[in-house]
Amino acid sequence: MVATLIRTIILYILVLLTMRLMGKREIGQLQPFELAIAIMIADLASVPMSDTGIPIFNGIIPIIGLLIMQMFISFINMRSIYIRSIISGKPTILIYRGRIDEKALKKEKITLNELQERLRQDGTFTIGDVEYAILETSGQLTVIPKPEKRTVIPEDLGITPEYEGVPYDLVLDGKIMSKNLQTIGKDYNWLKKQVEKFKIKPEEALIVTYDGKGQIFCQKKENK
């Protein structure tokens, strides 16, 4: 029982580190070779995790091998456009200038119903509003509406909005984010003065944020 627990912890940490080293991608954004490696890693970890009769290194060594293979393929992908197109494929245009490409749908084995479903997931409910629909190598659908159907942006109205910058968390669950304070050129005393306007101390705050316009958002933690 204890041996199984220890093996599970070791393999969990190894898989977690492996997935972390593979990069920050959501499951839906994984390339085919990345998804295949992720599935294989999970399968390799599950066998020695549940069967104590199998040496734990029978799972560790293949997982490390797959990680090295993934990093090697990623390196090649970055270096060669030709090899990248072979391994990851190329984007496919499903709707071109408002017209559905039937050959492209058949090639990607996507039905009209599936196309409509993906468009709805993107927030587009009428195919007639679409200028381009591109199936990316990750399997996600990029939709470009027709000019008259696109959302109006400030540039269309000749307006230049003020620069907003990046908001920073200064306090999370009562913990001071010292690095973020340093980044915006502030210190604890400044933070304390700002939070005192809300009649609390920084350590009593659930969250305190600072945006690019210098505005402070602060919420007090609920008393337990």
Ordered DSSP codes for 140-207: -EEEEE-GGGSPP-GGGGT--PPP----EEEEETTEE-HHHHHHTT--HHHHHHHHHTTTS-GGGEEE
Give the pLDDT confidence of 181-218 residue by residue, as tens digits: 999 999 999 999 999 999 999 999 999 999 888 889 99
Quick one: average pLDDT of 9-20?
82
Give the pLDDT confidence of 151-179 residue by residue, as tens digits: 888 888 888 877 777 889 999 999 999 99
Tell me what the pLDDT averaged over the chain comes to.
85
Quick one: average pLDDT of 10-14?
84
Distance of CA 196 to the CA centre of its chain: 36
> How many degrees, rounded to 5, is the angle at CA 110 between CA 104 and CA 115?
95
Please tell me the predicted confidence (pLDDT) of residue 11: 82
Backbone torsions φ then ψ of 168, nearest 5 degrees: -120, 140
Looking at the chain, how many residues does it have?
224
Q: Do domains 92-149 and 168-220 have the same CATH topology?
A: yes
- Name the residue ranges covered by the structural domains of the chain: 2-86, 92-149, 168-220
Q: Would you place residue 1 in the very low, low, confident or very high pLDDT band (cuts 50, 70, 90)?
A: low
Contacts 24+ apart (CB under 8 A), 113-118: none
Please tell me the predicted confidence (pLDDT) of residue 49: 77
CATH class of the structural domain 92-149: alpha beta
Give the pLDDT confidence of 125-161 residue by residue, as tens digits: 989 999 999 998 878 899 999 988 888 888 888 888 7
E strand or H helix that includes residue 99: strand 99-100
Please tell me the predicted confidence (pLDDT) of residue 29: 60
Decide: pTM greater than 0.75: no
User: Is the pLDDT score of 62 beyond 80?
Assistant: yes
The fourth-level CATH superfamily of domain 168-220 is bsu07140 like domains (3.30.240.20)
Q: Would you place residue 117 in the very low, low, confident or very high pLDDT band (cuts 50, 70, 90)?
A: very high
